[in-house]
Amino acid sequence: MSAVIQAQREQLEEGARSLGLDLSDVQISQLMDYGSAILKWNKVYNLTALRDPALVITHHLLDSLAAVPALVRQQSRAGRLLDVGSGAGLPGVVIAICRPDLDVDCLDAVAKKMAFVQQMAGALQLPRLRGLHARVETLEGSYDVITSRAFASLVDFVQGSAQLLAPQGVWMAMKGKRPDQEVEQLRASVDVFHVEQLSVPGLDAERCIVWMRKKEG
DSSP 8-state symbol, 49 = S
Q: Residue 137 belongs to a domain with what CATH number?
A: 3.40.50.150
Distances (CA, A) of 70 to 89, 90, 154, 199: 19, 16, 19, 12
Query: Taking 70 as the threshold, does the pLDDT of residue 40 lie above it?
Result: yes
Q: What phi, psi does 209 have (nearest 5°)? A: -120, 130
DSSP assignments along 127-189, one per residue: TTEEEEES-GGG----EEEEEEES-S-HHHHHHHHGGGEEEEEEEEEEESS--HHHHHTS-TT
User: How would residue 88 be classed by pLDDT, with cut points 50, 70 and 90?
Assistant: very high
Handedness of CA 167, 173, 177, 180 (dihedral sign): negative
Task: Give the domain range for residue 66.
Answer: 3-214
Query: Taking 90 as the threshold, does the pLDDT of residue 174 lie above it?
Result: yes
Over residues 36-55, mean pLDDT? 78
Nearest to 18 by CA among 78, 82, 65, 88: 65
Q: pLDDT tens digits for 184-194?
A: 999 889 999 99
**Segment (H or E) for 197:** strand 190-198
Query: Taking 90 as the threshold, does the pLDDT of residue 197 lie above it?
Result: yes
% of the chain exceeding 90 in pLDDT: 82
Q: pLDDT tens digits for 111-148?
A: 999 999 999 999 999 999 999 999 999 999 999 999 99
As a whole number, the mean pLDDT across the chain is: 93
The total number of structural domains that make up the chain: 1
